[in-house]
């Protein structure tokens, strides 16, 4: 897979900048180039870069200083320094100060490509496993986005970028994929983290109370308005408002919402006084809003207003590598909560988890693990302890959507292993390969097998 990284080049030499831009753009990356350290730091203050290529010898702020600042601002930044001939000492010094690697001048486009490729891999690896551990506040339940698929790595990068800005975000994805978790993470990583994160669940809003819930009302403004109240927008002021299930509100409410978002001000029901807002809007839906627009159920102008930065979370069945790590994560979580004796998931059960299509996505997986723990009598959660509809997906190799040959091979091996209860000799025989090849493939595809 090639990953399109966001790269910044800081070099005072025009021809160097042009050369880097040309080579790296050809490799499919997005490049920006500036001529000195001050401009570079300005850029990194506004936007997050996966890799930064920095010339050490520049007029203005010395390169070594720039490196120091870059690393202080973002300890995860991956910086490649460019050094002149015979300045190996400064290269060593730069490495000590946290540069990822150095590239001595002059260098060929191939050398540049290859060092950047390694740097990008390093950046992605850093995001593997536990991508974002969010524990800014001890009291806040720390919830991480778990996963090691490319999809999750990309999602994490996007979240970090989005968090640094105040842009309006629309999160899309099937039920249970983690839309709310992503919205919370964006908030917690943003400058607004100390301010409230307020959720509006449009699925449960009563139409007649919509305005009052969102904007508040003054005492006596309608029957039952006994006190002056603050609506969700006012409560979220300075922070983030998360508008969940956005497709569930009527066209009428959509117009009201559009106006508030555009004008960034509200007035309470029963009052004409305007309250100024400073709010980041994140909305989420599991519906296809373009389809809703076509059917006349969703306002196109609101859609474009909300969808400034689209964040799509792919369904779990399209990132099956995340299943074992999520399963083990939930297992640990429940064990800790319920102070149970140590349990693990048998290899056979794990393979089955990996094959299932998970229509309810991560939430369904989490529930399955919780039930498995309760059902399981020993210390190992076996296939029989898992109570979802296991027969369904195992019989059909999924040919829809994306699927490389390698993925098909992996699915086939898992299916046959399951058929023979993990018996390797029988599996190899059935597949027409020898045991050694099977073992290699099991390792290559990281298939779970009883030790």
Ligand X SMILES: Nc1ncnc2c1ncn2[C@@H]1O[C@H](COP(=O)(O)OP(=O)(O)OP(=O)(O)O)[C@@H](O)[C@H]1O
Cis amide leading into 298 (omega within 30)? no
Give me the 323-352 binding string for ligand X, x by CB under 6 A, dash otherwise.
---x--------------------------
The residue count for binding ligand X (CB under 6 A) is 17
Three-state DSSP class for residue 309: strand
H or E stretch at 197:
strand 197-201
User: Which H or E run contains 349?
Assistant: helix 347-355
116 lines the binding site for ligand X (CB under 6 A): no
**DSSP codes, 55-76:** ESS-SSS-HHHHHHHHHHH-TT
Interface with ligand X (CB under 6 A), residue from 256, 287, 305, 363: 363
Asked if 366 touches ligand X (CB under 6 A), the answer is: yes
Say whether residue 39 binds ligand X (CB under 6 A): no
Smallest distance, ligand X to C-beta of residue 433, A = 34
CB atoms < 10 A from the CB of 378, how many?
10
Q: Are 67 and 43 in contact (CB under 8 A)?
A: no
Q: Which is nearer to ligand X, 133 or 209 (CB)?
A: 133
- Three-state secondary structure call for residue 216: coil
Return the DSSP state at 286.
S
121-180 positions binding Mg ion, by CB under 5 A? 179-180
Q: How far apart are CA 305 and CA 257, in angstroms?
A: 10
Shortest separation between residue 305's beta carbon and Mg ion, angstroms: 21
- Quick one: which H or E segment has residue 266? strand 265-266
Residue count, binding to Mg ion (CB under 5 A) = 2
Smallest separation (angstroms) from ligand X to the CB of 169: 14
For the chain, how big is the Rg over CA atoms in Å?
26
Minimum separation from the CB atom of position 350 to ligand X (A): 17
Residue least distant from ligand X (Cβ): 178
Q: Which two tokens stand for residue 96?
A: 């000590």
Residue nearest to Mg ion (CB): 180
Q: Does 315 bind ligand X (CB under 6 A)?
A: no
Residues 166-195 that bind ligand X (CB under 6 A): 173, 175-181
Binding stretches for Mg ion (CB under 5 A):
179-180
Binding stretches for ligand X (CB under 6 A):
143, 145-147, 173, 175-181, 286, 326, 362-363, 366
């Amino acid at each position: 897979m090639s990953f399109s990284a966001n790269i910044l080049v800081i070099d005072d030499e025009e021809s160097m900048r042009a050369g880097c831009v040309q080579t790296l753009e050809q490799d499919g990356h997005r490049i920006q180039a500036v001529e000195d350290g001050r401009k570079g730091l300005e850029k990194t203050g506004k936007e997050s870069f996966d890799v930064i290529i920095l010339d050490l010898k520049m007029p203005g702020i010395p390169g070594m200083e720039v490196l120091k600042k870059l690393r202080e601002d973002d300890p995860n930044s991956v910086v490649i320094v460019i050094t002149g001939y015979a300045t190996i000492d400064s290269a060593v010094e730069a490495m000590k100060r946290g540069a990822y690697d150095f590239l001595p001048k002059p260098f060929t486009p191939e050398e540049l490509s290859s060092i950047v490729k390694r740097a990008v891999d390093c950046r992605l690896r850093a995001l593997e496993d536990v991508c974002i551990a969010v524990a800014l506040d001890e009291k806040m339940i720390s919830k991480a986005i778990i996963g090691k698929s490319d999809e999750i790595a990309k999602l994490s990068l996007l979240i970090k970028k989005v968090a640094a800005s105040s842009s309006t975000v629309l999160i899309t994805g099937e039920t249970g994929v983690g839309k709310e978790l992503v919205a919370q993470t964006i908030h917690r990583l943003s400058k607004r983290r100390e301010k409230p994160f307020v959720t509006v669940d449009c699925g449960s809003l009563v139409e007649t109370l919509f305005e009052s819930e969102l904007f508040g009302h003054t005492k006596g403004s309608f029957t039952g308005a006994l006190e002056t109240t603050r609506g969700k927008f006012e409560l979220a002021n300075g922070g983030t408002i998360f508008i969940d299930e956005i497709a569930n509100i009527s066209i009428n409410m959509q117009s009201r919402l559009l106006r508030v978002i555009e004008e960034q001000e509200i007035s309470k029901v029963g009052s004409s006084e305007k309250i100024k807002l400073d709010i980041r809007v994140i909305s989420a839906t599991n519906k296809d809003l373009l389809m809703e627009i076509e059917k006349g159920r969703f306002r196109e102008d609101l859609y474009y207003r909300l969808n400034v930065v689209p964040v799509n979370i792919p369904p779990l069945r399209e990132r099956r590598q995340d299943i074992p790590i999520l399963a083990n994560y939930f297992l640990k979580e429940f064990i800790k909560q319920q102070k149970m004796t140590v349990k693990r998931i048998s290899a056979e059960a794990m393979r089955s988890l990996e094959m299932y299509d998970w229509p309810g996505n991560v939430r369904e997986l989490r529930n399955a693990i919780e039930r498995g723990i309760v059902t399981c009598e020993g210390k190992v959660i076996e296939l029989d302890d898992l109570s979802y509809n296991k027969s369904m997906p195992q019989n059909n190799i999924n040919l829809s959507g994306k699927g490389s040959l390698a993925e098909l091979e992996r699915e086939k091996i898992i299916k046959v292993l399951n058929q023979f209860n993990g018996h390797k000799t029988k599996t190899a025989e059935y597949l027409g390969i020898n045991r050694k090849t099977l073992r290699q493939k099991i390792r290559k595809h990281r298939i779970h097998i009883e030790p």
